[in-house]
Structure 1
Amino acid sequence: MAPDDPHYNPDPRRHPGLHVIAIVEAVKGALAVFAASGLELLGPAPLQRWVHELIARFQLDPDHGAMAWLANAISPHSVHFAAAAVLAYGLLHLLEAWGLWRAKAWASWLGCLAAAAYLPFDIYALFRHPGWLSAGVVLINLIVVWVLGRDLFKRRR
Protein backbone atom coordinates (compact mmCIF):
# COMPACT_ATOMS: atom_id res chain seq x y z
CA MET A 1 0.00 0.00 0.00
CA ALA A 2 1.13 3.48 -0.78
CA PRO A 3 0.79 6.53 1.48
CA ASP A 4 -1.83 8.01 -0.89
CA ASP A 5 -4.02 4.88 -0.49
CA PRO A 6 -6.96 5.61 1.91
CA HIS A 7 -6.35 2.25 3.66
CA TYR A 8 -2.68 2.97 4.21
CA ASN A 9 -1.75 3.02 7.88
CA PRO A 10 1.90 3.55 8.79
CA ASP A 11 1.36 2.12 12.28
CA PRO A 12 0.65 -1.63 11.90
CA ARG A 13 -0.79 -1.77 15.42
CA ARG A 14 -3.57 0.71 14.66
CA HIS A 15 -6.19 -1.10 12.68
CA PRO A 16 -9.99 -1.05 12.65
CA GLY A 17 -10.13 -4.30 14.64
CA LEU A 18 -8.73 -2.52 17.70
CA HIS A 19 -11.31 0.24 17.33
CA VAL A 20 -14.20 -2.19 16.96
CA ILE A 21 -13.12 -4.07 20.08
CA ALA A 22 -12.65 -0.75 21.89
CA ILE A 23 -16.23 0.27 21.05
CA VAL A 24 -17.61 -3.06 22.27
CA GLU A 25 -15.60 -2.79 25.50
CA ALA A 26 -16.78 0.80 26.01
CA VAL A 27 -20.42 -0.27 25.61
CA LYS A 28 -19.92 -3.15 28.07
CA GLY A 29 -18.22 -0.80 30.51
CA ALA A 30 -20.94 1.84 30.25
CA LEU A 31 -23.69 -0.75 30.74
CA ALA A 32 -21.92 -2.09 33.82
CA VAL A 33 -21.56 1.41 35.29
CA PHE A 34 -25.28 2.02 34.67
CA ALA A 35 -26.11 -1.35 36.27
CA ALA A 36 -24.01 -0.50 39.33
CA SER A 37 -25.80 2.84 39.60
CA GLY A 38 -29.14 1.06 39.31
CA LEU A 39 -28.23 -1.35 42.10
CA GLU A 40 -27.35 1.55 44.36
CA LEU A 41 -30.49 3.50 43.48
CA LEU A 42 -32.83 0.53 43.90
CA GLY A 43 -31.43 -0.92 47.09
CA PRO A 44 -32.29 -4.36 48.47
CA ALA A 45 -36.10 -4.13 48.89
CA PRO A 46 -37.14 -4.26 45.19
CA LEU A 47 -34.52 -6.93 44.49
CA GLN A 48 -35.88 -9.13 47.28
CA ARG A 49 -39.43 -8.56 46.01
CA TRP A 50 -38.42 -9.56 42.46
CA VAL A 51 -36.69 -12.72 43.69
CA HIS A 52 -39.80 -13.67 45.72
CA GLU A 53 -41.96 -13.03 42.66
CA LEU A 54 -39.72 -15.33 40.60
CA ILE A 55 -39.94 -18.01 43.29
CA ALA A 56 -43.74 -17.76 43.26
CA ARG A 57 -44.03 -17.58 39.46
CA PHE A 58 -41.93 -20.69 38.89
CA GLN A 59 -43.37 -22.47 41.95
CA LEU A 60 -39.98 -22.95 43.57
CA ASP A 61 -39.42 -23.91 47.19
CA PRO A 62 -39.20 -20.59 49.07
CA ASP A 63 -37.09 -22.16 51.84
CA HIS A 64 -34.57 -24.21 49.84
CA GLY A 65 -32.57 -23.86 46.64
CA ALA A 66 -30.51 -21.19 44.94
CA MET A 67 -33.32 -18.66 44.64
CA ALA A 68 -34.21 -18.99 48.34
CA TRP A 69 -30.54 -18.50 49.19
CA LEU A 70 -30.42 -15.44 46.93
CA ALA A 71 -33.51 -13.93 48.55
CA ASN A 72 -31.91 -14.34 51.99
CA ALA A 73 -28.52 -13.05 50.82
CA ILE A 74 -29.86 -9.73 49.56
CA SER A 75 -29.09 -7.04 52.12
CA PRO A 76 -27.94 -3.42 52.01
CA HIS A 77 -24.34 -4.60 52.50
CA SER A 78 -24.54 -7.23 49.73
CA VAL A 79 -26.13 -4.74 47.33
CA HIS A 80 -23.36 -2.21 48.02
CA PHE A 81 -20.74 -4.94 47.52
CA ALA A 82 -22.35 -6.11 44.25
CA ALA A 83 -22.61 -2.52 43.01
CA ALA A 84 -18.94 -1.91 43.82
CA ALA A 85 -17.90 -5.11 42.01
CA VAL A 86 -20.00 -4.25 38.94
CA LEU A 87 -18.64 -0.68 38.99
CA ALA A 88 -15.05 -1.98 39.11
CA TYR A 89 -15.82 -4.35 36.22
CA GLY A 90 -17.30 -1.47 34.20
CA LEU A 91 -14.43 0.90 34.90
CA LEU A 92 -11.92 -1.78 33.91
CA HIS A 93 -13.70 -2.25 30.58
CA LEU A 94 -13.83 1.51 30.01
CA LEU A 95 -10.10 1.74 30.75
CA GLU A 96 -9.43 -1.14 28.37
CA ALA A 97 -11.56 0.54 25.70
CA TRP A 98 -9.61 3.78 26.05
CA GLY A 99 -6.30 1.90 25.82
CA LEU A 100 -7.39 -0.09 22.76
CA TRP A 101 -8.63 3.04 21.01
CA ARG A 102 -5.22 4.63 21.66
CA ALA A 103 -3.44 1.37 20.58
CA LYS A 104 -1.74 0.83 23.93
CA ALA A 105 0.08 -2.48 24.35
CA TRP A 106 -1.15 -2.97 27.92
CA ALA A 107 -4.76 -2.75 26.69
CA SER A 108 -4.12 -5.43 24.07
CA TRP A 109 -2.62 -7.64 26.78
CA LEU A 110 -5.57 -7.00 29.08
CA GLY A 111 -8.16 -7.65 26.38
CA CYS A 112 -6.41 -10.73 25.04
CA LEU A 113 -6.07 -12.29 28.49
CA ALA A 114 -9.65 -11.44 29.45
CA ALA A 115 -11.13 -12.87 26.25
CA ALA A 116 -8.92 -15.96 26.51
CA ALA A 117 -10.04 -16.48 30.12
CA TYR A 118 -13.67 -16.67 28.96
CA LEU A 119 -12.94 -19.23 26.22
CA PRO A 120 -13.02 -22.40 28.40
CA PHE A 121 -16.42 -21.37 29.77
CA ASP A 122 -17.68 -20.48 26.30
CA ILE A 123 -16.53 -23.82 24.88
CA TYR A 124 -18.14 -25.65 27.82
CA ALA A 125 -21.38 -23.77 27.15
CA LEU A 126 -21.15 -24.68 23.46
CA PHE A 127 -20.98 -28.39 24.33
CA ARG A 128 -23.70 -28.12 27.00
CA HIS A 129 -26.05 -26.02 24.86
CA PRO A 130 -25.05 -26.36 21.21
CA GLY A 131 -26.52 -23.78 18.91
CA TRP A 132 -25.84 -20.67 16.90
CA LEU A 133 -25.68 -18.38 19.92
CA SER A 134 -23.09 -20.49 21.75
CA ALA A 135 -21.06 -20.97 18.57
CA GLY A 136 -21.24 -17.23 17.85
CA VAL A 137 -19.95 -16.34 21.32
CA VAL A 138 -17.01 -18.74 20.94
CA LEU A 139 -16.27 -17.39 17.46
CA ILE A 140 -16.38 -13.75 18.60
CA ASN A 141 -14.05 -14.43 21.53
CA LEU A 142 -11.66 -16.33 19.26
CA ILE A 143 -11.63 -13.38 16.86
CA VAL A 144 -10.94 -10.96 19.72
CA VAL A 145 -8.06 -13.12 20.99
CA TRP A 146 -6.70 -13.40 17.44
CA VAL A 147 -6.91 -9.65 16.70
CA LEU A 148 -5.33 -8.64 20.01
CA GLY A 149 -2.76 -11.44 19.84
CA ARG A 150 -1.84 -10.34 16.32
CA ASP A 151 -1.46 -6.78 17.58
CA LEU A 152 0.88 -7.95 20.33
CA PHE A 153 2.84 -10.12 17.88
CA LYS A 154 3.29 -7.16 15.50
CA ARG A 155 4.58 -5.07 18.38
CA ARG A 156 7.28 -7.66 19.08
CA ARG A 157 8.56 -7.59 15.48
Structure 2
Amino acid sequence: MSIPESTGAPAAVASGQHHAGLRIIAIYEIVKTVCLVLVAMAAFHLDRQQNFEQLVHWLEHLSLADSNSLRWKLVGLLQDFGPSRFVAVGVVALGYAVLFGIEGIGLWRGKYWAEWFTVIATGSLIPLELYETLHRFGWLKLATLVGNVAIVVYLVRVALQTRAARHASKPHTS
Protein backbone atom coordinates (compact mmCIF):
# COMPACT_ATOMS: atom_id res chain seq x y z
CA MET A 1 0.00 0.00 0.00
CA SER A 2 1.46 3.35 -0.99
CA ILE A 3 1.15 6.53 1.02
CA PRO A 4 -0.47 9.41 -0.83
CA GLU A 5 1.66 12.52 -1.21
CA SER A 6 -0.88 14.63 0.63
CA THR A 7 -0.07 12.91 3.96
CA GLY A 8 3.30 14.61 4.28
CA ALA A 9 5.47 11.72 3.11
CA PRO A 10 7.76 13.92 0.96
CA ALA A 11 8.41 16.23 3.91
CA ALA A 12 9.28 13.24 6.10
CA VAL A 13 11.69 11.85 3.50
CA ALA A 14 13.37 15.23 3.01
CA SER A 15 13.60 15.67 6.76
CA GLY A 16 15.14 12.23 7.26
CA GLN A 17 17.72 12.77 4.54
CA HIS A 18 19.04 15.94 6.16
CA HIS A 19 18.61 14.99 9.81
CA ALA A 20 22.29 14.05 10.34
CA GLY A 21 23.63 17.16 8.62
CA LEU A 22 21.38 19.42 10.65
CA ARG A 23 22.44 17.67 13.86
CA ILE A 24 26.13 18.17 13.04
CA ILE A 25 25.58 21.87 12.39
CA ALA A 26 23.49 22.11 15.57
CA ILE A 27 26.31 20.57 17.62
CA TYR A 28 28.78 23.01 16.03
CA GLU A 29 26.51 25.93 17.00
CA ILE A 30 26.13 24.63 20.58
CA VAL A 31 29.92 24.23 20.92
CA LYS A 32 30.32 27.86 19.78
CA THR A 33 27.68 28.85 22.33
CA VAL A 34 29.51 27.13 25.19
CA CYS A 35 32.85 28.66 24.14
CA LEU A 36 31.33 32.14 24.00
CA VAL A 37 29.72 31.73 27.42
CA LEU A 38 33.16 30.80 28.78
CA VAL A 39 34.70 33.85 27.07
CA ALA A 40 31.98 36.04 28.60
CA MET A 41 32.58 34.58 32.05
CA ALA A 42 36.32 35.21 31.73
CA ALA A 43 35.69 38.75 30.46
CA PHE A 44 33.37 39.57 33.35
CA HIS A 45 35.96 38.10 35.74
CA LEU A 46 38.70 40.31 34.21
CA ASP A 47 36.52 43.38 34.66
CA ARG A 48 37.78 43.63 38.24
CA GLN A 49 41.03 45.56 38.44
CA GLN A 50 42.61 43.07 40.85
CA ASN A 51 41.89 40.07 38.60
CA PHE A 52 43.14 41.97 35.57
CA GLU A 53 46.39 42.92 37.32
CA GLN A 54 46.90 39.31 38.44
CA LEU A 55 46.58 38.08 34.84
CA VAL A 56 49.03 40.70 33.56
CA HIS A 57 51.45 39.88 36.41
CA TRP A 58 51.16 36.14 35.68
CA LEU A 59 51.83 36.73 31.97
CA GLU A 60 54.84 38.93 32.74
CA HIS A 61 56.43 36.19 34.84
CA LEU A 62 55.41 33.24 32.69
CA SER A 63 58.40 31.37 31.32
CA LEU A 64 57.84 30.87 27.61
CA ALA A 65 61.23 30.54 25.97
CA ASP A 66 60.06 30.29 22.36
CA SER A 67 57.22 32.80 22.50
CA ASN A 68 58.68 35.65 24.52
CA SER A 69 57.73 38.33 21.98
CA LEU A 70 54.20 36.95 21.74
CA ARG A 71 53.86 37.12 25.52
CA TRP A 72 54.96 40.78 25.62
CA LYS A 73 52.62 41.65 22.77
CA LEU A 74 49.78 40.05 24.73
CA VAL A 75 50.74 41.91 27.94
CA GLY A 76 50.88 45.20 25.99
CA LEU A 77 47.55 44.51 24.31
CA LEU A 78 45.89 43.72 27.64
CA GLN A 79 47.31 46.85 29.26
CA ASP A 80 46.11 49.00 26.34
CA PHE A 81 42.72 47.32 26.49
CA GLY A 82 42.30 47.81 30.24
CA PRO A 83 39.91 46.03 32.57
CA SER A 84 36.92 48.31 31.92
CA ARG A 85 36.52 47.15 28.31
CA PHE A 86 36.05 43.54 29.30
CA VAL A 87 32.40 44.23 30.17
CA ALA A 88 31.77 45.10 26.52
CA VAL A 89 33.58 41.93 25.43
CA GLY A 90 31.44 39.90 27.82
CA VAL A 91 28.19 41.45 26.63
CA VAL A 92 29.06 40.92 22.95
CA ALA A 93 30.14 37.31 23.67
CA LEU A 94 26.85 36.65 25.47
CA GLY A 95 24.90 38.19 22.60
CA TYR A 96 26.56 35.89 20.09
CA ALA A 97 26.14 32.95 22.46
CA VAL A 98 22.38 33.57 22.50
CA LEU A 99 22.31 33.80 18.69
CA PHE A 100 24.30 30.58 18.23
CA GLY A 101 22.27 28.85 20.95
CA ILE A 102 19.00 29.69 19.18
CA GLU A 103 20.44 28.40 15.91
CA GLY A 104 21.72 25.19 17.49
CA ILE A 105 18.55 24.35 19.41
CA GLY A 106 16.32 25.18 16.44
CA LEU A 107 18.41 23.02 14.08
CA TRP A 108 18.58 20.17 16.61
CA ARG A 109 14.79 20.20 16.85
CA GLY A 110 14.51 20.27 13.04
CA LYS A 111 12.73 23.61 12.89
CA TYR A 112 12.32 25.05 9.40
CA TRP A 113 12.74 28.64 10.64
CA ALA A 114 16.12 27.70 12.20
CA GLU A 115 17.47 26.72 8.79
CA TRP A 116 16.80 30.20 7.40
CA PHE A 117 17.79 31.92 10.64
CA THR A 118 21.18 30.19 10.49
CA VAL A 119 21.57 30.98 6.79
CA ILE A 120 20.98 34.68 7.46
CA ALA A 121 23.12 34.88 10.61
CA THR A 122 26.02 32.86 9.20
CA GLY A 123 25.79 34.38 5.73
CA SER A 124 25.90 37.91 7.13
CA LEU A 125 29.35 37.22 8.59
CA ILE A 126 30.85 35.78 5.39
CA PRO A 127 31.86 39.16 3.87
CA LEU A 128 33.72 40.06 7.06
CA GLU A 129 35.39 36.64 7.18
CA LEU A 130 36.37 36.96 3.52
CA TYR A 131 37.89 40.39 4.13
CA GLU A 132 39.78 39.15 7.19
CA THR A 133 41.06 36.09 5.34
CA LEU A 134 42.28 38.15 2.39
CA HIS A 135 43.64 41.00 4.53
CA ARG A 136 45.49 38.86 7.11
CA PHE A 137 45.62 35.33 5.81
CA GLY A 138 45.52 32.49 8.30
CA TRP A 139 44.65 28.85 7.85
CA LEU A 140 42.12 28.99 10.69
CA LYS A 141 40.43 32.01 9.09
CA LEU A 142 40.31 30.21 5.74
CA ALA A 143 38.90 27.06 7.35
CA THR A 144 36.24 29.12 9.15
CA LEU A 145 35.31 30.89 5.91
CA VAL A 146 35.08 27.66 3.91
CA GLY A 147 33.12 25.95 6.69
CA ASN A 148 30.61 28.76 6.98
CA VAL A 149 30.12 28.97 3.21
CA ALA A 150 29.52 25.20 3.18
CA ILE A 151 27.00 25.52 6.02
CA VAL A 152 25.10 28.30 4.23
CA VAL A 153 25.01 26.41 0.90
CA TYR A 154 23.92 23.19 2.63
CA LEU A 155 21.19 24.89 4.67
CA VAL A 156 19.82 26.79 1.66
CA ARG A 157 19.53 23.48 -0.22
CA VAL A 158 17.86 21.79 2.78
CA ALA A 159 15.46 24.69 3.36
CA LEU A 160 14.45 24.85 -0.31
CA GLN A 161 13.89 21.08 -0.43
CA THR A 162 11.89 21.24 2.80
CA ARG A 163 9.78 24.08 1.36
CA ALA A 164 9.17 22.14 -1.86
CA ALA A 165 8.22 19.04 0.11
CA ARG A 166 5.83 21.02 2.29
CA HIS A 167 4.29 22.64 -0.76
CA ALA A 168 3.89 19.26 -2.51
CA SER A 169 2.24 17.73 0.54
CA LYS A 170 -0.50 20.40 0.76
CA PRO A 171 -3.71 19.60 -1.09
CA HIS A 172 -4.09 21.77 -4.18
CA THR A 173 -7.37 23.57 -4.69
CA SER A 174 -8.41 24.90 -8.04
What is the TM-score with the length of structure 2 in the denominator? 0.65
Is 1:141 aligned to 2:148, yes or no?
yes
1:70 alignment partner in structure 2: 81
Q: Is the 8 A contact 1:40 1:83 kept in 2?
A: yes
* Aligned alpha-carbon RMSD (Å): 3.1
Q: How many residues align?
A: 141
SS of match in other structure, 2:15: coil
1:57 alignment partner in structure 2: 72
Cα deviation, residue 146, structure 1:
0.8
C-alpha separation in 2, matches of 1:115 and 1:36: 21
What is the TM-score with the length of structure 1 in the denominator? 0.71
* 1:47 pairs with one of 47, 52, 55: 52
In structure 2, relative to structure 1, the CA distance for the partners of 1:96 and 1:41 (3 Å cut) is same
Which ranges of structure 1 fall in alignment gaps of 5 or more residues?
Answer: 1-8
By relative contact order (CA 8 Å, sep 6+), the higher-ranking structure is: 2
Q: Is the 8 A contact 2:46 2:86 kept in 1?
A: no
Residue identity over aligned pairs, in percent, reads: 27
Which ranges of structure 2 fall in alignment gaps of 5 or more residues?
Answer: 1-10, 61-70, 165-174
Q: Is the 8 A contact 2:22 2:107 kept in 1?
A: yes
SS of match in other structure, 2:33: helix
In structure 2, relative to structure 1, the CA distance for the partners of 1:10 and 1:28 (3 Å cut) is same
- Cα deviations across residues 90-127 of structure 1 (Å, max 9, x unaligned)? 12211211100111122111211121112112222232
Q: Is the 8 A contact 1:43 1:79 kept in 2?
A: yes
1:20 alignment partner in structure 2: 24
